[in-house]
Structure formats: structure tokens, C-alpha cells
Amino acid sequence: MSPDDSPATRRLERMEDLVALCARRGFVFAASEVYGGINGFWDYGPLGVELKQNVKARWWQSVVRERDDVEGLDSAIVAHPRTWEASGHVEHFSDPMVDCRVCKKRFRADQLAEAGPCSAREGSCEHDFTEARNFNLMLETRIGASEEAASLAYLRPETCQSIFTDMKRVREAARQKIPFGIAQIGKAFRNEINPRNFTFRSREFEQAELEFFVHPSEREKWFAYWLEQRLAWHRGLGIPDECLRVRAHESWELAHYAKTAADVECRFPFGWHEIEGIHDRGDWDLGRHSEFSGKDLGVTDPETREHFVPMVIETSVGIDRTCLALLATAYREEPVGGGESRTVLRLHPAVAPIKVALLPLSKKLAEPVRTLERELRRHWNVFYDDSGNIGRRYRRQDEVGTPLCVTYDFESGGDGKVTLRDRDSMAQERVALEALVPILRERLESAG
Ligand code: GAP
């Protein structure tokens, strides 16, 4: 199902087109929409949640299930507040920001060129900015019953810190030796000053993180290994090569914990941007948590008896950003003849929310198709649609990226055959109902 674009095919140029499609078809829309939305928060509807689940399942399969050297974890979102002192987030996790004294809006000091005019000032549209101040990006919450006794805590700004604090427990319980990793998928929260570009920069988002613990002598080797693995994973999801690249960090842009870092970037309509970070975090995290907790988080090699603090190679991918990259790079508008055009999401079958649409040519044929639907639901997320003309029904499925449609017509009852229609080529063929499941499996699963 590789895209074969004709010169008349248009790729996504304006994010507004994708935002509108996502809202209209129930992929993603503003959270709390009836109250006017809440900036930086998004809800995933029926199709969006399927897309997201598929991406997470692919990650879990490749990073955890297919390996014997990675264990899974699902830790609490709220950690002991000392965690964030040890991790450096209380001290370092901030952006310089300025306020406009007149319109009261807040901007990142390094993005003032994009601030736009001041809407509240008379006789001028220039802002009246304060000095830049550091603004911590962690979202605070209070824990405990009474206001006075309640203590300050944070919603985690990254999922990995509990992996470090749980490392000893997980390693011993799973009887793992270095090198090994711990992986987790979960929500993270950042009080971003300027959430923007749809879900790209949000205040609540999901990360899939792997912390891989290695001997200090092997850190370069494992960094290179994981960078290659992760790039291959994005390719395998169907993000085309020309929209993917790796960018190594310059020393001045390294996060406070990182010794070496590289980003996997995707080309969006708004430019090349990070979807995943691969970091050599050294012994920063385990060293700091040992120091702050007073517990030794080092390990002893059972053969050499060497005691050392493992180095950490981290891979950290944003699930929301990956979904956005998949949607943005799959989007096409293309002519279909007769002056008509269609919008199609050329999603890889593995991530497509609906795998097969079942379309009886007439409502009178509902019964046998409902029976088929029940059978196919045991294998895939399928969708039944008997309303509107068949061309319009195909278009509706193209627009949400359904790879295959099965049409049951007035002949099907007699000859035991249905029409199988391919999303990308729009080719149609008659196939035997009896052979439908293996044929669908071959088409949906052969793409890797
Ligand atoms: N533990 C390392 C870490 O959190 P990061 O580069 O800050 O590193 C990793 O974040 C990934 O999380 C990013 O590549 C991105 O995909 C996702 N991410 C970070 N901030 C985000 C935000 N505000 N909105 C959506 N995704 C975000």
C-alpha cells in the first residue's frame, strides 16, 4: 500500500485542513468544547482513540514484548515531591517568559517575534513587556484533605522518573542483569506557555519511554543501537523517508541531564520538528536519586563483583506527536475523475482506526452483512455502513484511512462473492466470501 502520488495529488499544506478533518470525523477535538475549549488540552474521539491504541500497541510490541531484556511498568502519575528535586526539574525545568503589562498575556521570551500586536493598548499596538522571568513548567497539585495540611505535589512532566526510582525493585523482581531496560507508556503534563500547532505542543500528552541501563563502557554502542531501532520503528509505521530525519543536539541545547542527544524529527506543514528524543542520560538520574533518597541504586556485577551506577540510554517518544505525524504525512487530496476529488488518509493498515468497512449495496442486504460483521469483529475493528450511495460511502472511508472496503451486492447471495476495494489504488476485485478472512489478513498484515 505504498503511496503512488500523481502530480495532481496535494499533500497537507495547511494544518487547518487536518484540524477540521479531525474534528469532523471524530479523531481529535478541543477538550471541554462546550465551554469554549481549554488551551493545550485535547480529546481523542472514537477514531482517534483507535489510532492512538494502535500506535501504543506497536510500541509495546516492539520495545517490550519482542525482547527479553526489557520489562514493562505502569507507575503513578504523582510521585513523591522529592523526586522532582532530585531529577532537577524544580531547579531547571523552566522557560524564560515575559508578561505584557497592558493586555496581561504571557509569552515565551525567545518567541516574541510571534507575539502579534497588543490588543488592549490605546494609540499603539506594541506590548509593554516586563523583564524575562523563569517560569517552571510543572503543573502543581495539592494532596491531602484540608487546605492547610495539604502538601504540594506535581503532575509528572515526564514518565521516566519512576522508572529510575523503581529500577532496583523491577530488576530484582524480574531477575534482570545489566544491560536491560524498563519501559512505560503514560500521561505527562507540562504547563507550556504557548501550546500550539494542534496537538504538537500540549499541556497534557502521552509519552512512551524506555530507560535502558548499561555498563559505562557500553554507552556509545547502545546509544547508536537504540537510535537506529527507533528510526526503523517510525519508518515501519509508514512515515515516509522524506518526512523523517535524525538531528544530533549541539552541546549548548542539551537538557540538564543529557550527555549526548539526538531527535527523530518529522516534516510537518509548520517545519521539521522533534517527535522522539534519544538521550544518553549518563548516571545523572540514578546518582541523584541515590543521593536524595539515601538508597544505593547501583548494581553489582555477579561475575566480576564490580559495583557501579549504570548509565542510562533513553528513548522518549510522544504518542500524540507520532499520531499527528502519521495523520499529517498520510493526508492527500487527489482527483478521482469526472471533476471530482477525494481526501484520503494513506495510513499504514497497522495504525488505521478501521481496518475494513462492510457496505451492503442496499439496506435490504443488511442481514448477511451483519452476520459477516460479527465474524470479522473477532479479528479486526470493522465498520458497518448502509447509508448513502456507494461512492459516497467509499469517500467517507477514504477520509478516515480505512484500507479496505467490502461491498455485498444482489449477486453475493447467489455466487458467494463480494467486491473488495483497495483504498489507495481504488481497484476493485471479486473475491469468494469463504476466502475473505485469509485475504483480508494477507492484505492488512503483509505490510509489516
Ligand atoms: N524523558 C525525556 C523527555 O521527556 P522530551 O524531549 O522533553 O524528553 C520527549 O520529551 C517527547 O515527548 C518529545 O519528543 C515529544 O514527542 C513529547 N513531548 C514533549 N513535550 C510535549 C508537549 N508539550 N506536547 C506533546 N508532546 C510533547
Using CB atoms within 10 Å of the CB of residue 369, give its burial: 0 to 12 exposed, 13 to 18 middle, 19+ buried. buried
Which 3 state secondary structure label does DSSP give 277? Answer: strand
Give the residue, by CA position, lying nearest to ligand 1 atom 25. 201
pLDDT value of residue 149: 67
CA distance 61 to 264: 20
pLDDT value of residue 1: 38
Give the residue, by CA position, lying nearest to ligand 1 atom 26. 318
Expressed in angstroms and rounded, the spacing between residue 389 Cα and the centre of ligand 1 is 44
The pTM of the full predicted model, rounded to 2 decimals, is 0.93
| Residues within 6 Å of ligand 1 by CB | 158, 160, 190, 192, 201-202, 205, 207, 209, 274-277, 314, 316-318, 320-321
pLDDT value of residue 6: 79
Q: Which atom of ligand 1 is nearest to the CA of 195?
A: 23
Q: Which atom of ligand 1 is nearest to the CA of 279?
A: 2
Q: With the C-alpha atoms ordered 79, 80, 84, 90, is the resulting torsion angle positive or negative?
A: positive
pLDDT value of residue 41: 98
pLDDT value of residue 258: 87
pLDDT value of residue 338: 87
Determine how many CB atoms are found less than 10 A away from the CB of residue 79: 17
Task: Look at residues 180, 186, 141, 192 and name the one whose alpha carbon lies nearest to residue 160.
Answer: 186
Over the range 141-150, which residues count as b (16 or more CB within 10 Å of their CB) and which as e?
eeeeeeeeee
Task: Look at residues 40, 195, 55, 254 and name the one whose alpha carbon lies nearest to residue 263.
Answer: 254
Print pLDDT tens along the chain (448 aa).
Answer: 344 577 889 999 999 999 999 999 999 999 999 999 999 999 999 999 999 999 999 999 999 999 999 999 999 999 999 999 999 999 989 888 898 989 888 888 888 888 888 988 777 888 999 998 888 999 999 998 776 667 899 999 999 999 999 999 999 999 999 999 999 999 999 999 889 899 999 999 999 999 999 999 999 999 999 999 999 999 999 999 999 999 999 998 888 888 999 999 999 999 999 999 999 999 999 999 999 999 999 999 999 999 999 999 999 999 999 999 999 999 999 999 888 999 999 999 999 999 999 999 999 999 999 999 999 999 999 999 999 999 999 999 999 999 999 999 999 999 999 999 999 999 999 999 999 999 999 999 987 6
Element (H, E) at 289: helix 284-293
Q: With the C-alpha atoms ordered 309, 169, 58, 319, is the resulting torsion angle positive or negative?
A: negative
Expressed in angstroms and rounded, the spacing between residue 209 Cα and the centre of ligand 1 is 10
Best mutation site among 207, 274, 276, 285 for ligand 1, i.e. most ligand atoms within 8 A of its Cβ?
A: 207
pLDDT value of residue 313: 98
CA distance 155 to 207: 14
pLDDT value of residue 115: 84
Write down the residue that cell numbers 487527489 correspond to: 334
61 residue type, one letter:
Q
CA distance 405 to 331: 19
